Amino acid sequence: MPELDTIIDVDASPIADERFVARCRDQLDTDGVVTIPGFIRPAALNALVAEAEAEKKNAYFTASTHNAYLTPPRDDLPADHVFNRQITSSKGCITTDQVPRGSALHSIYDSPVFQQFLATVVGETALYEYADPLSSINVHFANDGQELGWHFDNSSFAVTLLLQAPDDGGQFQYVRDVRDADAGDLNFDAVADVLDGRTRPRDLDVAPGTLVLFRGRNSMHRVTPTIGRRTRILVVLAYNTAPGISLSEAARMTFFGRLG
């Protein structure tokens, strides 16, 4: 596997430097999101795009509907209640086991230095890969017209790496602190305000090669439809805060169309 410092621009983003790490942690605490532009060196980025393009034919493409909370509907609430409102998402996905063995994505994901950086920034002592062979590294493809609808994440933080931006569209938008998941506060009114366009979301400025750390559990977010022929390609690096955890079978069937 390629050396980490040929992939990550450690001069611009010194992920082992205490002051850099502290700055990222402070920014995540204050803003709920950290973007690190130019994280991936240009040559490594080009190689990752070519690799993803080659693997795209094996992606599992689905269109599905879900509520903003990514939960099954509740039949004690009316079908048109905001909790039950169905939102469309459509994209393609390749899984960890489909990422070529020599890929820089494995080098990044598996790197103890990178994992320690993330753990410190998100306030954990250590991070662990998924126990199932599919869920740790996912590459998402959004073709013309495909989008990720409004939702909250189940996980407390997400790590993404944009490989290729579309010609137009494919904008990541978010609204901070719409609910308080730990307090059990679903905040239906605020969610309806976002879904109905009464709350204006913020646009996150993300160029290819940017690493994004995002707290999506209480912040509602979406990716607008891709416009044009160039596919939006985005890597999700997913970790657990304890070892031995698999993604649920229901989620694996929805996202990947198989269990292993």
Q: Which of 148, 191, 220, 237 binds ligand AKG (CB under 6 A)?
A: 148
Separation of alpha carbons 248 and 250, rounded Å = 5
Q: Does 226 bind ligand AKG (CB under 6 A)?
A: no
- Cβ-count burial 7-18 (b if 16+ within 10 Å, e if not): bbbbeebebeee
149 is a site residue for Fe ion (CB under 5 A): no
Cβ closest to ligand AKG, residue 5 vs residue 203: 203
* Residue 160 interacts with, from ligand AKG, Fe ion, none (CB under 5-8 Å by kind): ligand AKG
Tell me, by CB under 5 A, how many residues bind Fe ion: 2
* Letter string b/e over residues 188-225, b meaning 16 or more CB atoms within 10 A of that residue's CB: eebbbbbbeeeeebeebebebbbbbbbbbbbbbbbbbb
- Which of positions 106-145 make contact with ligand AKG (CB under 6 A)? 140
Binding letters toward ligand AKG, positions 201-220, x by CB under 6 A: ---------------x----
Q: Give the shortest CB-4-to-Fe ion separation in angstroms.
A: 26
Instruction: Closer to Fe ion by CB, 55 or 153: give it.
Output: 153
Closest distance to Fe ion from the beta carbon of 62 (Å): 16
Of 4 and 245, nearer to ligand AKG (C-beta) is: 245
Query: x/- site string to ligand AKG, residues 170 to 189, per CB under 6 A?
Result: --x-----------------
Q: Report DSSP letters for 134-182, one per residue.
A: SSSEEEEEE-TT--EEEE--SSS-EEEEEEE--SEE--EEEES---BTT
Q: Tell me the torsion sign for CA atoms 105, 111, 117, 118.
A: positive
Token couple for 204: 């996150």
164 Rama sector, left if φ>0, alpha if ψ -120 to 50, beta otherwise: beta
How many C-beta atoms lie closer than 10 Å to residue 5's C-beta? 11
Query: To the nearest whole angstrom, how small is the minimum distance from the Cβ of residue 221 to Fe ion?
Result: 6
Judge whether 167 and 227 are in contact, CB under 8 Å. Answer: yes
State in angstroms the smallest separation of the CB of 111 from Fe ion.
23
- The answer to whether 170 contacts Fe ion (rule: CB under 5 A) is no
Residue 160 touching ligand AKG (CB under 6 A)? yes
Could you give the CA distance from residue 66 to residue 207 in angstroms, rounded to a whole number? 28
Binding interface with Fe ion (CB under 5 A): 153, 216
The residues binding ligand AKG (CB under 6 A) are: 140, 148, 153, 158, 160, 172, 216, 221, 223, 234, 236
